[in-house]
């Protein structure tokens, strides 16, 4: 099983790690633990993520922005993924609900905190899926609609480039 791991901006001394899961049986419990601060991660609906780079850009922005808009770095990632400036709408759109069975689990590790991600990943009761299968779970139509990517743009620009540019430029 391949997960995704990438260093973020060097000034943050942080690495992002992502794992994709299907057939998750304990989504309500995971949501409760995240909301209670017991799990240090965010869980994203994979249907709205075309490529891990999309989440990486949102996480990097969350860590490097001078001013946070939300209460935690993990809600900031969800907020940055969304084209909306409405916090509640962003969290509802990209965050999970109790019925979700496919999950993209995102952790952040400072230097020397490698065990934190494994603790989060071990809490997931589902089947790990190679991160390369993320595109199979993505809903390109929903992504295009959400980010307002026209047919003309879609024909001439790679989808991930369109999405990432919108995340980067969101104020």
Structural domain boundaries enclosing 44: 4-169
Q: DSSP secondary structure string, 28-95?
A: HHHHHHHHTTSS--EEE-GGG-S-HHHHHHHHHHHHH-SS-SSSSHHHHHHHHHSS-S-HHHHHHHHB
Report pLDDT digits (tens) over 72-120.
999 999 999 999 999 999 999 999 999 999 999 999 999 877 788 989 9
**CA distance to 15, 104, 111, per residue, from 2 (Å):** 16, 13, 21
pTM of the model: 0.94
How many Å apart are CA 12 and CA 151, to the nearest integer?
37
How many Å apart are CA 119 and CA 107, to the nearest integer?
10
Q: Within 10 Å of residue 39's Cβ, how many Cβ atoms?
A: 22
Share of the chain above pLDDT 90, in %: 89
Q: Which residue has the higher pLDDT, 27 or 111?
A: 27
Total of domains in the chain:
1
Report pLDDT digits (tens) over 114-153.
788 989 999 999 999 999 999 999 999 999 999 999 999 9
Q: Is the pLDDT of residue 1 over 60?
A: no
Burial (CB count within 10 angstroms: exposed 0-12, middle 13-18, buried 19+), residue 54:
buried
The CATH number of residue 151's host domain is 3.30.2380.10
């Amino acid at each position: 099983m391949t997960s995704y791991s990438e260093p973020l901006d060097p000034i943050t001394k942080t690495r992002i790690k992502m794992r994709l899961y299907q057939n998750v049986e304990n989504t309500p419990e995971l949501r409760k633990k995240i909301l209670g601060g017991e799990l240090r991660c965010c869980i994203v609906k994979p249907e709205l993520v075309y490529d891990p780079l999309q989440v990486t850009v949102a996480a990097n922005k969350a860590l490097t922005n001078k001013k946070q808009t939300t209460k935690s770095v993990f809600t900031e990632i969800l907020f940055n993924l969304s084209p909306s400036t409405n916090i509640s709408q962003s969290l509802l759109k990209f965050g999970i609900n109790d019925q979700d069975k496919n999950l993209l689990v995102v952790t952040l590790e400072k230097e020397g905190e490698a065990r934190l991600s494994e603790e989060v990943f071990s809490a997931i009761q589902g089947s790990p899926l190679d991160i390369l299968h993320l595109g199979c779970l993505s809903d390109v139509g929903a992504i295009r609609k959400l980010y307002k990517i026209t047919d003309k743009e879609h024909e001439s620009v790679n989808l991930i480039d369109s999405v990432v540019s919108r995340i980067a430029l969101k104020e």
